[in-house]
């Protein structure tokens, strides 16, 4: 292995450590607790080392969001691949999405609530974000209905899932009825 290859590998390991530590800290204490100073202390590198990877917290949030989008896409595809029939796939997709949001609140915030500097719905949208949407579209295309554009239907269904996830987490909707709401969403839209 060349010196350059070793340096690149070490850089990738450091970058992964920064992102994993930011994610862990955010899940434990919220994004307000994630600062470059605190991250530098936790990973035992200087702040300039962090800044050699990320220009600031915004880019770190963006890196967590991209990682989360890839995980969400994989989770949705795994859940839907095990289900038989369009309706069962939509039910599995709905459960997997809401479970992901509940299990990973800080990552979900990085993906959809916080400014990570990532463009959505543009040509230059990063691939992990496109894959997250594609994982929804793959399942929802089958139930969009005649004359309904699948992309628009997917946006509507996604907005509904996002609303359920965020309103339930914020205590605006009773958590006890979360499963019933998800069933009703599938019943009415799928």
Could you report the per-residue pLDDT of 58-108, keeping only the tens digit for each? 999 999 999 999 999 999 999 999 999 999 999 999 999 999 999 999 999
Q: What is the mean pLDDT of the chain?
A: 95
What's the pLDDT tens digit per position in 155-179?
A: 999 999 999 999 999 999 999 999 9
Give the confidence band of 189 by pLDDT, cuts at 50, 70, 90: confident
20 pLDDT more than 90: yes
pLDDT value of position 107: 98
190 pLDDT more than 90: no
pLDDT value of position 14: 95
Give the confidence band of 1 by pLDDT, cuts at 50, 70, 90: confident
Cα distance between residue 135 and residue 118, in whole Å? 19
* Vertex 143 angle, CA 142 and 147, to 5°: 95
Of the chain, the percentage scoring pLDDT greater than 90 comes to 95
What's the pLDDT tens digit per position in 31-60?
A: 999 999 999 999 999 999 999 999 999 999
- Write out the chain in H/E/C secondary structure: CCHHHHHHHHHHHHHHHHHHHHHHHHHHHCHHHCCHHHHHHHHCCCHHHHHHHCCCHHHHHHHHHHHHHHHHHHHHHHHHHCCCCHHHHHHHHHHHHHHHHHHCHHHHHHHHCCCCCCCCCCCCCCHHHHHHHHHHHHHHHHHCCCCCCHHHHHHHHHHHHHHHHHHHHCCCCCHHHHHHHHHHHHHHHC
């Amino acid at each position: 292995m060349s010196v350059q290859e070793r340096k690149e590998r070490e850089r990738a390991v450091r970058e992964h450590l920064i992102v994993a530590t930011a994610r862990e800290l955010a899940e434990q204490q919220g994004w307000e607790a994630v600062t470059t100073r605190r991250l530098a202390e936790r990973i035992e590198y200087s702040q300039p080392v962090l800044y050699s990877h990320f220009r600031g917290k915004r880019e770190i949030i963006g890196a967590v969001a991209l990682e989360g989008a890839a995980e969400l896409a994989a989770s949705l595809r795994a859940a839907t691949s095990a289900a038989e029939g369009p309706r069962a796939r939509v039910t599995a997709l709905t459960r997997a999405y809401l479970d992901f949001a509940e299990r990973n609140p800080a990552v979900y915030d990085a993906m959809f609530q916080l400014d990570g500097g990532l463009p959505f719905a543009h040509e230059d949208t990063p691939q992990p974000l496109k894959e997250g949407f594609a994982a929804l579209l793959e399942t929802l295309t089958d139930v969009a209905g005649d004359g309904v554009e699948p992309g628009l239907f997917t946006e509507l269904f996604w907005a509904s899932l996002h609303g359920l996830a965020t309103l339930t987490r914020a205590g605006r909707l009773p958590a006890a009825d979360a499963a019933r709401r998800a069933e009703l969403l599938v019943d009415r839209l799928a």
